[in-house]
Each structure stands twice: as structure tokens, then as C-alpha cells.
A = this chain, B = another copy of it.
């Protein structure tokens, strides 16, 4: 599906049919998310796919009762990895596993470490969170490109969602993305005029 069609046809879907997405499509979508652009290639995201209806209902309650969390087929919980320096270690191992020499891997990781060292802890957390929104963009555009509907959401109690999913400390739910097949078709969309977004 052409990217322009994706952008123009995607909408925030709040009611899904009861149809379940095949797992092969979820895998395809995760692949599109995996290749999201990533600052310093640190990929400071982790994703939980929630299939269990009872868990989704509990998460909906931690999201001001927004029913698209419960009535979707699959729920993605996109988490930020707040231990950004830990990701540099992970990156070094992954680069070497990809066939890069130890010296070249160390050089790339050294640059990432240097940039991280310049950021105070709140800036590192902000950096980690920002990457999740790039991943969320690929999730919602990717979903539409695969014939799925989605709803990007940030209105929820992150601590409650983390507790419900038993997430370790430092893996912080940052965006929810219910997925499924939209019931009733797209709602009308509106954007500010082109000249109003320029400055």
C-alpha cells in the first residue's frame, strides 16, 4: 500500500469488529516497527503484545475506560527503555553478532556512549521516550498498510499498566496501540490548513 494512501486512510479507530488478526500479520507489523528509525541506533523500545481479553480489560480500566483497548484484537504496549546506557552494551553485542569487527563496533558504540554522557538523566529518559513515538508512528502506519486499524494512545496510567504486565523497572509503558479491524468505517478527519503549520 502506497505511503500516501496509508497516511490519508489511517484514522484513530475506537471500535473494532470481533475479528481476530492472524498472528502472521502481527509478526509482519512487528517487523515494520523493528526497523523504525532510531537515535544513535539504541532502539530504546520494548513491546508487549497483549492477546488476553481479561488483561486488556484491566488495561482499559487503567486508561480511563477507553474501550478500544478492550475491544481490539491485539494490544501493543510500547515501552521505553530508560536504561539508555544499558542499550549501548546491547548494541555493541548486536553489532559484533552482525559481522562487524570488534574495533568498528566499539567505535560506533563509543560515539553513542559519548553522546549519552552529554545528556543528564532526565534528557536520557526524554530521548528514550522520543524513540517510542517514532516506533508508534511505524506501528499505526504499518497497521494500515497491512489492512489493519489502530488507535495511538497516551492517556493511561503507566505505573498501573506496568504492574498489570509485571514489567521490570526501567521498562516504562509509553504508548498503547490497540489493533484490529475497524467497525463502522473511518470517522471524518480534519487538519489545520497547510499554511497554518508552517512558521
With both beta carbons as reference points, the residue of chain B lying nearest to A193 in the complex is identified as: B94
- The quantity of this chain's copies bound in the complex is 2
CA distance A39 to B45 in the complex (A): 20
Q: Are B8 and A35 in contact (CB under 8 A)?
A: yes
Q: Are B43 and A191 in contact (CB under 8 A)?
A: yes
Asked if A115 lies at the interface with its beta carbon under 8 angstroms from chain B, I say yes
Q: Are B46 and A7 in contact (CB under 8 A)?
A: no
Chain B residues with CB below 8 A from A36, complex form: 7, 137
**Interface SS of chain A:** helix
Once A98-B190, A137-B138 are accepted as A-B contacts, the answer to whether A35 and B47 lie under 8 Å apart by CB is no
Q: Are B191 and A34 in contact (CB under 8 A)?
A: yes
Count of chain A residues near B, Cβ 8 A: 64
- B interface footprint on A161-199 (CB within 8 Å = 1, 0 otherwise): 000000100010000000000000000011111101111
Question: Which one of B1, B8, B48, B140 contacts A37 once the chains associate, using CB atoms below 8 Å?
Answer: B140
With both beta carbons as reference points, the residue of chain B lying nearest to A45 in the complex is identified as: B197
Asked if A121 lies at the interface with its beta carbon under 8 angstroms from chain B, I say no
Question: Which one of B167, B193, B198 contacts A49 once the chains associate, using CB atoms below 8 Å?
Answer: B198
Q: Are B197 and A30 in contact (CB under 8 A)?
A: yes
